[in-house]
Structure 1
């Protein structure tokens, strides 16, 4: 085959997305014409420019990485690299290099192009819990926790109170670029009324959310304010005076009956005069 002659192509970088467990095809930049066969080509599929995934020469596989055994195959016509099932470790940049053997000439590189595979693993539905730390008539102090696990790539954790974004007091994400992530967040709150809290885990354009109603646990009845001392005193004096007046009146009037007779006589006289004037 001899030394290859590199030919550079300014091509747009390709991006392919897949989830863990799926089957994905990584396209190559060359398709073998129907008039030719794989026997006239040498094909390399590399990862991160250093790790050979698989290689073909003279129509036969000459190399395959142990990580991809029983999980990869290549289309003999369009040279697509198929991976199934996809794993988190498959995330990364791949390169397809195609050499063509020509008669009486050295092999020529007819294709050299990269394609990036973004692997996604779904996070678990967030688990949200709330523990009461202190309680009073005015508010309920509590700590809210949200956790999710088993996802990829590295997530962003967000929280909202009645759809208003809120910042976490403390959050933690496991540090790993080659395995699933775990994420946890904590939030300390003083709840003065029932309010809805939502925790969301966002990753590579996907999101998982869980909501929990946070309740103010203690309701206090406001006692009736008793009347002041001055009001009580004034009311008591008025009542006592009224009762005393009635008592004195009841005792005084019977002893002075003449006044009653006098008033009665005056009333009859006035009545007689009125009657006489009426007859006239």
Structure 2
């Protein structure tokens, strides 16, 4: 078999055609992905767009419209303008626009999360068949932070910090910061089978050396809720005094003993010294008084002397 040479112009044309088809395919996929995602919150109202809009010259009586979930559950359906019985879980919670065929769900429940399909027929011919995904979220409670002291020293306090939140959907992530520095929580999740909601708990062991601020954030489907708690180093230890050197102790003892001996000697001998001085002074006074007051000579003697 003989291969004919291909001209450069033909190769360039094939290349450009391939690139054009690839770009159109990517654009088409991008547009399809863009209109397939719808977000809703529990208790709110969401609208799911359909892939067809009935012209103003026609009416719903000429169409069959099926809104179904997971291809098995009929959410809402119309045949020739009349509603077809649907799944009991969606009764009194759904309605459809008669022109653009948008499906409204209110109030939204967690079980509504999933993929929906809009199928439109006219004269038994499928006009469009397209899926749209509904991502349901339920708000988590404001995180609760508790701190329990597990040990410590004079320099730091060891704490077990717990952060918990509940009642949300979908499964969240938990993050935190210690004085604006990221920390990693040891997280665990619990799911309530009946409600499909989640509870999350994170634990963190910290050695607190100074007053700090801990923040816990619970993030889910683009939403977040957070709480902060100040932590303090509560261990205020009293440092024992350093004993003085040995020679200082000996010198202090000698000084105290000398002082006690001086007081003892003073108390014992000072009264005796004072008393002896007082006694000597009193004797001197008495002798002086005796010398000054000699006994007078008797009158008889005086007379005898006169007569002589």
Q: Which residue of 1 aligns with 2:58?
A: 36
Q: CA deviation at 1:226?
A: 4.0
CA distance in 1: counterparts of 2:192 and 2:95, whole angstroms: 28
**Residue 47 of structure 2 corresponds to which residue in structure 1?**
25
CA positional deviation for 1:51: 1.8
More strand per residue: 1
Given that 2:191 and 2:197 are in contact with CA atoms closer than 8 Å, whether structure 1 keeps it comes out as no
Q: 2: CA distance between counterparts of 1:97 and 1:221? A: 79
After superposition, the C-alpha distances for 1:206-256 in whole angstroms (9 at most, x for unaligned) are 10101111111111233443443356679999xxxxxxxxxxxxxxxxxxx
Residues 171-186 of structure 1 mapped to structure 2, 5 A cutoff: 171-175=187-191, 179-186=196-203
Aligned to 1:12: 32
1:186 and 1:214 mapped to 2: Cα distance? 15
Deviation at 1:54, TM superposition (A): 1.7
2:135 to 75, 98, 118: 118
Any stretches of 5+ residues in structure 1 without a counterpart?
1-8, 102-106, 238-280
Q: 2:162 aligns with which of 132, 145, 153?
A: 145
| Partners of 1:49 and 1:172 in 2: CA distance | 34
Unpaired stretches in structure 2, ≥5 consecutive residues: 1-27, 255-308
* Structure with higher helix content: 2
Distance (Å, rounded) in 2 between the aligned partners of 1:222 and 1:142: 22
Conservation of the 8 A alpha-carbon contact between 1:143 and 1:189: yes
Aligned length: 223
Give the ranges of 4+ consecutive aligned residues of structure 1 lying more than 6 Å apart after TM superposition.
231-237
Could you tell me the TM-score, scaled by structure 2's length? 0.67
CA RMSD, Structure 1 to Structure 2 (Å): 2.2
Distance (Å, rounded) in 2 between the aligned partners of 1:176 and 1:29: 36
Q: Which residue of 2 aligns with 1:98?
A: 120
Counterpart of 1:163 in structure 2 is 180
More RCO (CA 8 Å, sep 6+): 1
Mapping for residues 49-88 of structure 1, pairs under 5 Å: 49-88=71-110
